[in-house]
């Protein structure tokens, strides 16, 4: 017989800590700039408008077209070959962000970039303009990159990147927009870095960033919005009540079965509760 599901707080004190890799997060709702949360600012030239925190979001810009203002999570663990996919989630609103299709090297240039370089030398860049999104996965002259996808970026949207098994996927508000092969490793790039902001000297942007998190995919974030909260709890409880991963009503892939034993039971619940308590993956 299945045990009764207890409220999360009843079990918190008794759950052992799981040893999972720490994700990297920038959370403006804490009231501080990325500089105060472990990220290193890169800004050029002097005279850029100073970023501010307003209503829990990081406001940038309008940045200089021929300058940069971005932050680097130096030493972040970026692994595109891990047992679980690399995941990056950012919630962003764009007032304005430029787009250039090709400045001679066949890569795109966006006013707002999220740039990831993995430990194996592979690169992946997500560009977000006022009217489109794109991946750059190839950085050698003559290589082609996936075409940009039209998108109204002027309201807050959740951008979710998954990279693993040789492919990169972009979901926007839960809908798959781009699915492209990752490029080959480069020998001459800095590794394990994630930049966000105006990262290019050939673009400018004005944006509001509400959240960015990256690291190994967080299994407990069942709706893929970067947090582990009541919305995920609702999804988990439904799977817990169903129990059997082979049940036809279970979501495809049985995502709530965190330990892979084909049932969603108390063992999975203990994993979920740890993340729920932290609001993000432990
Ligand atoms: Ca969630
Ligand atoms: Ca299980």
Q: What percent of the chain clears pLDDT 90, i.e. is strictly above it?
A: 62
Residue 278: predicted pLDDT? 78
Q: How many angstroms is it from 222 CA to the middle of ligand 1?
A: 5
Which ligand does the CA of 270 lie closest to?
Answer: 2
**Residue spans per domain, the chain:** 25-216, 219-278
CB 200 within 8 A of CB 184: no
Alpha carbon 107 to its chain's center: 21
Q: What percent of the chain clears pLDDT 70, i.e. is strictly above it?
A: 89
pTM over 0.85: no
pLDDT tier for residue 56 given thresholds of 50, 70 and 90:
very high
CATH superfamily placement of domain 219-278: Dockerin domain (1.10.1330.10)
Q: How many angstroms is it from 214 CA to the middle of ligand 1?
A: 14
Write the pLDDT tens digit of every residue in 189-221: 889 999 999 999 999 999 999 999 898 888 898
Q: How many angstroms is it from 229 CA to the middle of ligand 2?
A: 20
CB 92 within 8 A of CB 155: no
In 3D, which of 68, 50, 73, 47 has the Cα closest to residue 60? 50
Q: How many angstroms is it from 212 CA to the middle of ligand 2?
A: 29
Q: How many angstroms is it from 232 CA to the middle of ligand 1?
A: 5
Q: Output the average pLDDT for the chain.
A: 86
Output the CATH code of domain 25-216: 2.60.120.200
Please give the Cα distance from 57 to 59 (Å, whole number).
6
Write the pLDDT tens digit of every residue in 95-125: 999 999 877 767 789 999 999 999 999 999 9
Q: How many angstroms is it from 257 CA to the middle of ligand 2?
A: 4
Which ligand does the CA of 219 lie closest to?
Answer: 1
Least confident of 8-17, 97-106, 209-218, 253-262: 8-17
C-alpha to C-alpha distances, 179 to 136, 150, 159, 186, 211, nearest whole angstrom: 12, 15, 14, 21, 23
């Amino acid at each position: 017989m299945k045990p009764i599901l207890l409220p999360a707080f009843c079990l918190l004190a008794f759950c052992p800590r799981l040893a999972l890799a720490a994700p990297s997060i920038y959370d403006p709702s804490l009231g501080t700039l990325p500089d105060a949360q472990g990220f290193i600012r890169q800004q050029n030239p002097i005279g850029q408008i100073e970023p501010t925190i307003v209503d829990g979001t990081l406001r940038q810009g309008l940045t200089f077209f021929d300058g940069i203002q971005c932050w680097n999570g130096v030493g972040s663990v970026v692994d595109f070959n891990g047992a679980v996919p690399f995941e990056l989630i950012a919630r962003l609103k764009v007032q304005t962000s430029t787009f250039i299709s090709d400045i001679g090297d066949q890569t795109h240039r966006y006013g707002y970039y999220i740039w990831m370089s993995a430990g194996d030398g592979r690169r992946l860049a997500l560009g977000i303009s006022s009217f489109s999104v794109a991946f750059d996965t190839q950085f050698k002259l003559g290589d082609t990159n996936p075409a940009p996808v039209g998108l109204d970026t002027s309201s807050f949207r959740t951008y979710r990147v998954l990279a693993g098994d040789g492919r990169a996927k972009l979901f926007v508000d839960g809908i798959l927009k781009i699915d492209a092969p990752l490029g080959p490793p480069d020998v001459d790039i800095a590794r394990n870095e994630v930049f966000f902001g105006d990262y290019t000297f050939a673009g400018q942007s004005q944006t509001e960033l509400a959240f960015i998190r990256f690291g190994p995919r967080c299994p407990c974030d069942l709706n893929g919005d970067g947090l582990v909260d009541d919305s995920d709890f609702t999804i988990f409880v439904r799977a817990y009540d169903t129990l059997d991963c082979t049940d036809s009503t279970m979501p495809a892939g049985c995502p709530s079965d965190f330990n892979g034993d084909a049932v969603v039971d108390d063992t999975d619940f203990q994993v979920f509760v740890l993340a729920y308590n932290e609001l993000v993956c432990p």
